[in-house]
Amino acid sequence: MSRDLLDRSSKRIESLLDRFSAYPAASGARADAEELVRTVSSLYGQCLREIVETLREELGARADGLLERCCGDTLTASLFITHGLHPVPLETRVRRALESLGEALREQGAAVQLVSVDEDVATVRIDGPSQVVPAVEQAIFAAAPEVLDVRCTGQTISLLSAI
């Protein structure tokens, strides 16, 4: 449900901003609309930062576990990621996603290893049949929506096993 709401809301915001493009550039309507979105987003981000800070002051180390549980919801996780507040570091989330595939990959004669990750690209090494690649990509994108691309390097992907 949260994923649908996030997708619908993102499309609606983009659609509304696009409507402002119909106004002459000199009117500044699109720039004003974009500034409005940035201002509201910044305000919400600051509110979230204060909530996180309060939780950490009150609960100490337990706060991160609670925040991580909250980030199990796609919409909440995306908000925390947008504002740089996700309690679990990006690399840890990607590693966990890959570890969760362990048994399923082994059953298909495959293995995956994280080479590197930054906010845009996760680089992995995959040894095994090519049909495991989509599952690896999906797991990474689900755990770390801020990653825009998954790249395979130095892999030994067997295309013959897919035949």
43-61 pLDDT, tens digit per residue, is 999 999 999 999 999 999 8
Is domain 90-162 classified as CATH 3.40.50.261? no
For range 5-30, the mean pLDDT: 85
What is d(CA 58, CA 51) in angstroms, rounded to the nearest whole number? 11
| Helix boundaries (H) for 101-148 | 102-107, 133-143
Residues 6 or more apart from 9 whose CB is under 8 A from it?
Answer: none
Percent of the chain topping pLDDT 70:
93
What is d(CA 131, CA 94) in angstroms, rounded to the nearest whole number? 20
Is pLDDT of 116 > 50?
yes
Alpha-carbon 90 to chain mean position: 9
Is pLDDT of 41 > 50?
yes
CATH 3.30.300.130 residue window(s) in the chain: 90-162
| Helix boundaries (H) for 21-73 | 29-59, 62-70
What is the per-residue pLDDT for 154? Answer: 63
Q: How far is CA 142 from CA 48, 52, 77, in A?
A: 22, 23, 10
Tokens of 115: 């080479």
What is the per-residue pLDDT for 144? Answer: 92
Q: How confident is the model at residue 90 (pLDDT cuts 50, 70, 90)?
A: very high
Is pLDDT of 23 > 80?
yes
